């Protein structure tokens, strides 16, 4: 009985690791010009990319033959300590996102 539990756990871990690897992913590769790369989407999938800074920018594009894309938006400017979020939506239901962590810029460190 114990062997069955161990086997089930191993299969569950393998399945979750595989699904995490197969999910679409986004990566911001440059801030000037603002450049986003996407991978692991469906080949040829029509995507809606939403970049949010102080305002939102929406672009539509088609993933390439390998399910990847590279998008540059020249008029987005990220200030030092500025934050952004990028999300990609596909009609197949595949989604991906990336955002900057909260930035403590401009705040004086308090007493420790």
Q: Averaged in consecutive runs of 10 residues, what is the pLDDT profile of the chain (112 residues)?
A: 48 49 91 94 95 94 96 88 92 87 66 53
* 3-state class (DSSP) for residue 51: strand
Domains: count for the chain: 1
CB-neighbour burial class of residue 61 (10 A; exposed 0-12, middle 13-18, buried 19+): middle
Q: Is 107 inside any structural domain? A: no
What's this model's pTM, rounded to 2 decimal places? 0.72
Q: Is 56 inside any structural domain? A: yes
Q: Which phi and psi angles does 31 have, rounded to 5°?
A: -100, -20
Peptide bond into 33 cis (omega under 30): yes
Q: Is 78 inside any structural domain? A: yes
Q: Is 69 inside any structural domain? A: yes
Q: Is 25 inside any structural domain? A: no
Q: What range does the domain containing 66 cover?
A: 36-96
Q: In what order do the strands lie in the sheet with 85-89?
A: 56-62, 46-52, 85-89, 95-99
């Amino acid at each position: 009985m114990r062997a069955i539990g161990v086997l089930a756990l191993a299969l569950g871990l393998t399945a979750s690791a595989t699904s995490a690897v197969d999910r679409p992913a986004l990566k911001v590769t440059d801030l000037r010009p603002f450049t986003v790369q996407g991978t692991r989407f469906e080949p040829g999938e029509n995507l809606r990319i939403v970049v949010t800074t102080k305002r939102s920018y929406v672009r539509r594009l088609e993933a390439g033959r390998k399910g990847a894309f590279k998008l540059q938006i020249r008029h987005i400017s990220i200030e030092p300590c500025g934050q952004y979020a990028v999300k990609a939506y596909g009609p197949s239901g595949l989604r991906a996102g990336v955002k900057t962590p909260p930035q403590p810029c401009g705040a004086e460190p308090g007493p420790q």
